């Protein structure tokens, strides 16, 4: 049996990732009765090495878990992953080839409309380029860890009560929380990310709000800060606003008396409501994960 520090050295996986894999149910280390420290046996180390190997093949954690639990055949999973990698390879090959077609040396001379038309034409012929929706998904996921709030069981008038409420919240949501500075405005880490928290008193009672101390760490890898800010605004304002307009559309049309569009408007309203629910479900799911 080895400690998490020794497991990190044996596998090459960081402690933060090891804890995350435990949270995901990929490994199940035992804990010492005296201090609740994690202990890893040979099978845990082997599973961590398998996770490391499959992740190097860009395999999703959900697929890895199914393999490790015996719910998916190894060869079947590998064939599926090969197909996923082929699709990514097609995107990279098309983008690589297209980069060579851009001859302009100055940004002001670049005919962006012409090149976009060419890219659309190539996509119709089967070539694939990167999907910008992947960027939006990354931004939604990053927003879910940027800040969170919860209602405590008491008013947290002392640093000790504040600490207890944070630990209760972490326990309920299966988070690995470590207090680094106690107080009524404490600092702590979750999965290696640094947060600070404070109390908000309102008509609904006491709320504890936690925010990342270094929000710049939310910018997804490979995405520029400017692109992230734009997509973040879309996530915060435009998408919910558009969905809300879809929900309100049937009522607006009924007021105007456009009866011939009522059926279409009702369908759009239902779709808008479902999309709105799904949107917040995605935020909640990523926040809980």
Higher pLDDT pick, 55 / 222: 55
Neighbours of 236 (CB within 10 A): 12
Segment 64-111, tens digit of pLDDT: 989 998 888 999 999 999 998 888 888 778 777 777 778 777 777 777
| pLDDT over 90 (residue 197) | yes
Segment 9-50, tens digit of pLDDT: 998 888 878 888 887 788 888 887 776 778 899 999 999 999
| pLDDT over 90 (residue 255) | no
CA pair distance 108, 169, nearest whole angstrom: 52
Predicted confidence at residue 6, as pLDDT, reads 92
Beta-sheet strand order (sheet of 177-181):
147-150, 205-212, 193-202, 187-190, 177-181
Predicted confidence at residue 60, as pLDDT, reads 85
| pLDDT over 80 (residue 180) | yes
| CATH value of 4-68 in 3.40.50.2000, 3.40.50.300, 2.40.50.140, 1.10.1660.10 | 1.10.1660.10
DSSP state of 45: H
Predicted confidence at residue 288, as pLDDT, reads 44
Contact 25, 19 (CB under 8 A): no
pLDDT category of residue 289 using cuts at 50, 70 and 90 = very low
**Spatial CB neighbours of 194, under 8 Å, sequence gap ≥ 6:** 180, 187, 188, 212, 213, 214
CA pair distance 49, 36, nearest whole angstrom: 24
Tokens coding 287: 């926040």
Average pLDDT, the chain: 76
| pLDDT over 90 (residue 240) | no
Predicted confidence at residue 247, as pLDDT, reads 60
Higher pLDDT pick, 190 / 196: 196
177 bridge partner residues? 190
| pLDDT over 50 (residue 244) | yes
Global pTM exceeds 0.75: no
Contact 276, 247 (CB under 8 A): yes
Contact 142, 155 (CB under 8 A): no
Predicted confidence at residue 42, as pLDDT, reads 92
Predicted confidence at residue 267, as pLDDT, reads 62
Predicted confidence at residue 34, as pLDDT, reads 73
**Residues above pLDDT 90, as percent of the chain:** 13
| pLDDT over 60 (residue 130) | no
Would you list the domain boundaries of the chain? 4-68, 74-130, 140-218, 225-288
**Spatial CB neighbours of 75, under 8 Å, sequence gap ≥ 6:** none
């Amino acid at each position: 049996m080895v400690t998490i520090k020794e497991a990190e050295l044996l596998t090459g996986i960081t402690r933060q990732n090891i804890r995350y894999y435990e949270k995901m149910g990929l490994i199940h280390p035992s804990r010492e009765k005296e201090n609740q420290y994690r202990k890893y046996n040979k099978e845990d180390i082997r599973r961590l090495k398998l996770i490391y190997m499959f992740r190097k093949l860009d395999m999703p954690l959900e697929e890895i878990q199914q393999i490790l639990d015996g719910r998916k055949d190894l060869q079947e999973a590998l064939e599926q992953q090969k197909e996923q990698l082929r699709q990514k390879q097609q995107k990279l090959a098309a983008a690589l080839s297209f980069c060579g077609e851009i001859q302009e040396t100055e940004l002001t001379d670049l005919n962006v409309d012409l090149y976009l038309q060419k890219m659309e034409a190539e996509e119709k012929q089967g070539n694939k380029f990167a999907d910008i929706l992947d960027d939006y998904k990354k931004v939604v996921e990053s927003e879910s860890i940027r800040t969170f709030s919860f209602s405590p069981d008491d008013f947290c008038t002392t640093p000790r009560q504040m600490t207890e409420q944070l630990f209760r919240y972490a326990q309920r949501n299966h988070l690995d929380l470590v207090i680094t500075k106690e107080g009524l405005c404490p600092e702590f880490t979750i999965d290696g990310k640094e947060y600070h928290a404070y109390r908000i008193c309102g008509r609904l009672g006491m709320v504890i709000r936690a925010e990342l101390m270094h929000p710049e760490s939310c910018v997804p890898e490979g995405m520029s800060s400017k692109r992230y800010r734009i997509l973040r605004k879309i996530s915060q304002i435009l998408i919910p606003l558009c969905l809300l307009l879809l929900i309100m559309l049937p009522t607006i049309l009924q007021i105007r008396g456009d009866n011939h569009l009522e059926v279409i408007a009702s369908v759009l309203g239902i779709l808008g409501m479902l999309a709105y629910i799904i949107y917040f479900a995605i935020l909640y799911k990523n926040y809980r994960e």
